[in-house]
Amino acid sequence: MVRIFICLFLFLLSGDILPQTNSMSLGGYVGVGSIRGNSPSQTSFNTSIFLDAAPEFMQGSSLRLSLLYGRKIEALLPGGLYDRYFPFMKGISLKVTTNQTFQNFFYTEEAIGPLVLNDRTFSDVNSVDLGLGFSFMAGLDFRSGGKGMAFGLGSEYGLTFTNTSASYFAFYLQAQYYFLGKD
């Protein structure tokens, strides 16, 4: 999955694509939530990195390619990874994102799109599930001239419909850096 993300990132940075893009950004989030496969929900820490691109033809929306990871929160405790298995999930999603700006710096962001999750909630389970991801965030935008940082608090929910019907929920703090942008 990381190879796909890197290849897409390099493709989007090619000279022919950038003039047709209103903005591009790179970001990520860290938060807490839950993961669930064919098991009860388990409290987890969740993280994601993403590449966001707003092509001109989408007029106000952008595409977000995300890599996500969630693991049982006890794995963060001291000595937590020695001789123990902690359930986890990893996945990739491609969402359409829209923003609404309020006053000068405040904005909200909504996203929806297809999701592929690798369910590893048990040591003998290695299932790939397909579904949808949804997210909502409220934040502060500190961009100047189309470039700069944006921060926010949000939540994300992923639900799959195949195999183990894996799902996750995350409440997170997000940071996003716009390295290409137009006013």
Q: Report whether 47 contacts 68 (CB < 8 A).
A: yes
pLDDT value at residue 20: 75
| Residue in the structure block whose two tokens are 């949000």 | 154
pTM given for the model: 0.86
Number of domains the chain is built from:
1
Integer Cα distance of 183 and 179 in angstroms: 13
Integer Cα distance of 137 and 120 in angstroms: 27
CA nearest to 37, candidates 65, 68, 70, 67 = 70
CA nearest to 31, candidates 155, 133, 140 = 155
Report the CATH number that the domain containing residue 101 is assigned in CATH. Answer: 2.40.160.20
**Domain encompassing residue 165:** 2-181
Strand residues in 37-161 grouped as ranges (E): 42-55, 61-72, 88-102, 106-120, 127-141, 148-160
What residues of the chain score a pLDDT lower than 70? 1-19, 80-82, 182-183
At 60-102, the pLDDT tens digits run 899 999 999 999 998 888 776 667 889 999 999 999 999 999 9
The residue type of 6 is: I
pLDDT value at residue 81: 63
